[in-house]
Structure 1
């Protein structure tokens, strides 16, 4: 059971975008089969640079994007899992009417998208608190601390990382082990009641997060 759930978590974890600016937060798109998104190079432009159209794809019984294979040549957002209604971009700038979004997390390319009832902004703290779970990157070794300070006491932990975020303080996030992780990860022998890890180092994310189980 533990291995099965761990594999499911890996399936829905975020990719690591080491070269991309974290921005000020994220913008999620509440799309349906009528949604059309127009991306502009500048807020003063009258013609969009890129256009995405959604439709009801009966072949897969889900919403889909027209010409998705071609669109994905330039469209590489933070999250794109249409089956789970997850379509999210990192946001560099927001004004009263516009968002400047990173539309390609590989090269940092940005476009502007108008604010509508289908666009929802979250800062990183609120976004991470809403995730199913977070884990430390295996490529970036860090300890779990009692306080958001490198010099604070280390909390001994054994097992697979499976935490939820309670709050954020600068580069640090306060974590705990939720019941569903404690029950299903049989090698998590030392669940965390309250601890702190870093979620970023400079402008690089050093955790991975899971949007769903």
Structure 2
């Protein structure tokens, strides 16, 4: 038993715990264990690391008890080398992901507006309506609220989004001919990007390094969604309703990180949902919607640390005019 408590034996158990925790996480990433699981994906990957670590920790006690002390010292050096290699791989992947995000923040050249029935390479396509401030999305073409909300393709399950032109809504999708499409692929960092797309494609919001791709909805039916595929000229196309998620304006606003009034706006935070109501004068930095009632939204007022300091009502639209801009990211 004394052999188990020698410094080399204790170090062997500790290194086994740490090294196999990293190996478990890398293995989970390799088999896409957290793919398509949203926020739960990180916990799933972490769980794989914990399972590998616990098994290795238990096995290390049996090994230190059965093998000679000199071999334990050799194994410690092997585990230390694996630890350095694992750290190097994780650090390299992190650096490459950051470079990829910076690259995707570069504004693209404007796409031509003429329709085409062929798809062109678009692997470098990035957001057309992203403001320059990092991690802040306030689409520039959102002054008008024309549309019912947004459609977000599920590219985890459907790596092709098919476009249809003026379908017969009484017939099933299978009886219609596709006239164009977007194809998605994963890059070396396992992030989705657009592989091919029509040259006229201009989404309302696109930030694929954060899994964000939104098209404004013009109409919906049982099996179809008509979306705006070019936010610059209003061109629309039909897609299958089952190819992604339909998010109506109230649900969309409830999902954003924060909202703020448009630059130069004279809108105020009110005590109640009507214009003649008293003004809330509590100092705040951000507004987070938590209730939508027709043209009004009840918001939490947040300080610079995103802590609640109060609440009130804001008018988020008037007729077909959007009165706020929204931040999808922190």
**Which of the five TM-score ranges fits, normalised by the shorter chain?**
0.7 to 0.9
Equivalent pairs, count: 194
Larger Rg: 2
In structure 2, the residue matched to 1:184 is 305
Matches within 5 A, 1:1-213: 11-18=135-142, 20-32=144-156, 35-44=159-168, 46-58=176-188, 61-67=190-196, 71=198, 73-116=199-242, 118-160=243-285, 162-178=286-302, 182-184=303-305, 192-213=309-330
Structure 1 residues 13 and 205, CA gap change in structure 2 (3 angstroms): same
CA contact (8 A) 2:151 2:246 kept: yes
Alpha-carbon shift at residue 49 of structure 1 (Å): 3.0
Cα distance in 1 between the residues matched to 2:254 and 2:205: 16
User: C-alpha displacement at 1:108, in angstroms?
Assistant: 1.6
TM-score normalised by L of structure 1: 0.79
- Structure 2: distance between partners of 1:110 and 1:203: 19
The structure where helix makes up a greater share of residues is: 2
* Structure 1 unaligned regions, length at least 5: 1-6
1:54/1:66 contact within 8 Å kept: yes
C-alpha contact 1:165 1:173 (8 A) present in aligned 2:
yes
Q: How far apart are residue 93 of structure 1 and its match?
A: 1.1
User: Deviations 1:111-142 (Å, cap 9, x if unpaired)?
Assistant: 100122x4111221111111111111113321
Find the aligned partners of 2:293 and 2:200 in 1 and give their Cα distance: 34
Once the two structures are TM-superposed, the CA of residue 21 in structure 1 deviates from its matched residue by 4.7
Shift of 1:9: 7.1
**What are the Cα deviations for residues 135-172 of structure 1, in whole angstroms up to 9, with x where unaligned?**
11113321111111110101114453x11111112211
Q: CA RMSD in A?
A: 2.6
Offset, 1:194: 2.0
The one of the two structures with greater contact order (alpha-carbon pairs below 8 A, sep at least 6) is 1
CA contact 2:145–2:322 (8 Å) conserved in 1: no
- Partners of 1:136 and 1:17 in 2: CA distance: 15
Distance 2:149 2:209 in 1: 23
After superposition, the Cα gap between the structure-2 partners of 1:20 and 1:148, relative to the gap in structure 1 and judged at 3 Å, is closer
Instruction: Name the one with the larger strand percent.
Output: 1
User: Tell me, which stretches of 5 or more residues in structure 2 are unaligned?
Assistant: 1-130, 169-174
TM-score, L = length of structure 2: 0.53
